[in-house]
């Protein structure tokens, strides 16, 4: 989407280390000359930190997700979601002032359970590190398999490069409306067997997890952790909500992958 909207207000979400705090103050000093700082109703949310800070930013403004736009400056350990390095903050200021931008929409997951409804930019995971977790998996209300192991992870294309990647899942282009189901230490032998490989589904599908007991299990939604109840029925689907990311410079998906994982 080529941006035509005028950005008038901004907010900063900052990683709580001294370098990020100092950089945030420098950004404010420059941006306040032509924008208004408004933490409650910003047009732009600038994340200063790593990808974890960007996740926190999206969750902080989830109720205004349809009107805010996110952009990141990297001071953390991984910068897949950030377009600017720490020494490029003045360039970010100039680019915002220039106003020529694109907006890229990134799909969110919606997960519902007894505790409520949550949204994820990266992934939803059900994990149990106390005992083997047994779950029946349904896709569009059709029984698919019974899983036994440490848990299951459903990731977005953005999250395909995060926890999903460490599980051996596929890396998916961030602009696609897909979700991926990957196993966390699944048990496979003569008595028990599940698919074993990652399963990629489009936005017409809903995944449902049911278990006789979720004792000791947690529901992870990005950085959030929720204790599950035994009678929980967990449903995951692509949400109609999308996170809007500002882009002033052309950073391709391939460039992001190389920068985050291949360049030394």
By annotation, the residues acting in catalysis are: 51
First to last CA, the chain: 32
Tokens of residue 222, six digits: 């990005």
DSSP characters over 119-155: EESSEEEEE-SSS-EEEEEEETTEEEEEEEEEEEEEE
| Pairwise CA distance, residues 201 & 216, whole Å | 28
Nearest to 184 by CA among 238, 133, 119, 118: 133
Classify residue 124 as exposed, middle or buried by CB count within 10 Å of its CB (0-12, 13-18, 19+).
buried
Among 155, 167, 147, residue whose Cα is nearest residue 214: 147
Sign of the dihedral defined by the CA atoms of residues 45, 47, 51, 52, in that order: negative
How many C-beta atoms lie closer than 10 Å to residue 239's C-beta?
A: 19
Query: Using alpha carbons only, how large is the chain's radius of gyration in Å?
Result: 20
Measured between alpha carbons, how far is 68 from 58 in angstroms, rounded to an integer?
9
């Amino acid at each position: 989407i080529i941006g035509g909207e005028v950005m008038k207000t901004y907010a900063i979400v900052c990683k709580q280390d001294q370098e990020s705090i100092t950089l945030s103050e420098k950004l404010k000093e420059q941006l306040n000359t032509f924008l208004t700082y408004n933490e409650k109703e910003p047009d732009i949310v600038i994340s200063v930190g790593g990808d974890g800070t960007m996740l926190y930013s999206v969750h902080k403004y989830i109720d205004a997700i349809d009107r805010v736009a996110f952009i990141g400056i990297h001071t953390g350990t991984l910068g897949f979601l950030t377009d600017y390095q720490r020494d490029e903050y003045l360039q970010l200021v100039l680019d915002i002032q220039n106003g020529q931008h694109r907006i890229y929409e990134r799909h969110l997951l919606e997960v519902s359970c007894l505790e409520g409804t949550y949204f994820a930019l990266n992934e939803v995971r059900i994990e149990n590190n106390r005992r083997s977790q047994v779950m029946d998996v349904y896709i569009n209300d059709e029984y698919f398999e019974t899983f036994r192991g440490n848990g299951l992870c459903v990731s977005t294309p953005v999250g395909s490069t995060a926890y999903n990647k460490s599980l051996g899942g596929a890396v998916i282009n961030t602009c696609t409306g897909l979700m991926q189901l990957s196993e966390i230490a699944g048990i496979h032998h003569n008595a028990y067997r599940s698919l074993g490989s990652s399963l990629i589904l489009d936005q017409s599908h809903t995944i449902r997890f049911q278990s006789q007991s979720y004792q000791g299990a947690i529901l992870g939604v990005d950085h959030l952790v929720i204790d599950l109840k035994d009678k929980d029925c967990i449903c995951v689907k692509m949400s109609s909500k999308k996170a809007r990311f500002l882009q002033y410079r052309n950073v391709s998906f391939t460039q992001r992958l190389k920068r985050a994982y291949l360049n030394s």
